[in-house]
Amino acid sequence: MYDLIGDIHGHADELVRLLGRLGYETDQGSYRHRDRKIIFLGDFIDRGPQIHRVLEIVRPMVEAGHALAVMGNHELNALAYHTEDPDLPNQYLRPRTPKNEHQHQATLDQLTSHDLRSYLDWFRTLPMWLDLDGLRVVHACWDEQAIAQIAKVNNKHARITDEFLHSACRKGQPLFDSVEVVLKGKEGKLPEGMSFTDPYGHVRTEIRTRWYLPPNGHTYRTYAFQSDECACDLRLDALVVATAIPYPADAKPVFVGHYWLAAPQPGVLAKNVACVDYSVAKGGFLCAYRWNGEQKLSNENFVW
Note the pLDDT tens digit of each residue in 58-84.
Answer: 999 999 999 999 999 999 999 999 999
State yes or no: pLDDT of 202 exceeds 80: no
> Within its chain, how far is the Cα of 17 from the centroid?
21
Encode pLDDT of 221-232 as tens digits: 899 987 677 778
Using alpha carbons only, give the angle 240, 241, 243 rounded to the nearest 5 degrees. Answer: 70
Residue ranges of the chain assigned to CATH 3.60.21.10: 2-72+98-143+248-303
Query: What is the pLDDT confidence band of residue 124, given thresholds at 50, 70 and 90?
Result: very high
State yes or no: pLDDT of 297 exceeds 90: yes
Q: What is the mean pLDDT of residues 117-142?
A: 97
SS (H, E, C) 235-298: ECCHHHHHHCCCCCCCCCCEEECCCCCCCCCCCCCECCEEECEECHHHCCEECEEEECCCCCCC
pLDDT of the residue at 15? 98
Mean per-residue pLDDT of the chain = 93
Query: What is the pLDDT confidence band of residue 42, given thresholds at 50, 70 and 90?
Result: very high
Please give the residue that has the higher pLDDT: either 155 or 46: 46
Per DSSP, 40 falls in state E
Nearest residue to 136 via CA among 37, 288, 272, 269? 272
State yes or no: pLDDT of 199 exceeds 90: no
On whether the 2-72+98-143+248-303 domain is CATH 3.60.21.10, my answer is yes
